[in-house]
Amino acid sequence: MSLGAEDRIHQWLRQKLRRQGFHSVGDDGAILPAGGPWAVTQDQQIEGVHFPARTDPALIARRLLAVNLSDLAAMGAEPAFAFLALSCPPDFDIRRLLSSFLVACSRYDVELAGGDLSQNDRVTSSVTLLGTRFSGGRWLKRSHGEPGDSLWIAGDLGLSAIGRRLVEIGACHSGRRVQLPAAPHLTVREETLARKAVRRHLIPQPQLAASRWLALRRRAAAIDVSDGLSLDLHRLCRESVVGAQIDESCLSTEANFQQLCLKLQLQPLATILAGGEDYALLFSLPPRVRPPAMLGCRKIGRLDAAPDVWLISKGKSLPLPARGWDHFDSATVAS
């Protein structure tokens, strides 16, 4: 499996750390000390990279917490404490961001325990989030997959990429309303899906309910789908030393998804596979184990003993490359 630019940096760092006797890096968070009791993750949001200038500070706060919660979900961790670092221009509404962040924290029983404030010419924020193991649960790892396991998705694929494109051409979220750009012309159903996509992009939905259920299983592998299904599937396979195949017909359930993609000049399948910022949960389970229907998960394929990753499309097996969102190689981002 070939590595993208970002993964090559991660691999280089892991090799250096292992030579020093450290083995915590490699999942969506770190289990500290080895075995617990803490899962720790850190993610950031940068103006011009993760959200456009003049985005409502309240939305930035909610998004910042959500992307970190999504990492903890992939670890089977219950969120507990947050440390927030924020740098911004002097005229930025810091109080609005902090107020929204505290409201979001209360929703997930997270305590803001500290952080840092400083001045910068653009908004840059990060959160270090600590979580504990769910009562009676196990930690989730990317390396827990085995050949024959079923592959599942909790959450939507591709909607965030559609939302990102809509924001780029003028869509905005104000209060509880989404305002869409005048062009392209959309049907009523496409407008409904477009508004959902903008919300999903600006305010991700961490899959904590699925995480809790998975943590109570005897064995499950999991990864946060933040960089695209294809790229993150390759990462899970690499850690579990397996291959995989996924079924194209199982990837999208949203009506009008294809039509909306085409009107936005997006390739529907590439948007699902490599659009990025889905913050869904990709996981594997033994073949006879199924998530409860109330979690809304979809089976999309299986893990194989052979190391290759395949897309099953109309009865044909096609190689599935590791494409997705790579901060250091923009050519790999789907469009």
- Position 14 scores a pLDDT of 66
Instruction: Find where tokens 């989404």 sit.
Output: 178
| Of the listed ranges 65-74, 90-99, 255-264, the one predicted with least confidence | 255-264
- Position 174 scores a pLDDT of 78
* pLDDT beyond 70 at 25: no
Average of pLDDT values for 85-89? 98
- Mean of the per-residue pLDDT values of the chain: 92
pTM: 0.92
Q: Which fold has domain 37-133?
A: 60s Ribosomal Protein L30; Chain: A; (3.30.1330)
Provide the residue ranges of all domains of the chain, joining segments of one domain with +.
37-133, 142-332
- Position 10 scores a pLDDT of 67
Return the CATH class of domain 142-332: alpha beta
Contact 243, 237 (CB under 8 A): yes
In the chain, pLDDT over 70 holds for what percent of residues?
93
* pLDDT beyond 60 at 16: yes
Token digits for 86? 């924020």
In the chain, pLDDT over 90 holds for what percent of residues?
82
Nearest alpha-carbon partner for 161 in 45, 323, 275, 331? 275
| Of the listed ranges 21-35, 142-156, 236-250, the one predicted with least confidence | 21-35
Average of pLDDT values for 212-218? 97
Query: What's the pLDDT tens digit per position in 298-335?
Result: 999 999 999 999 999 999 999 999 999 776 775 444 44
| Of the listed ranges 18-27, 137-146, 204-213, the one predicted with least confidence | 18-27
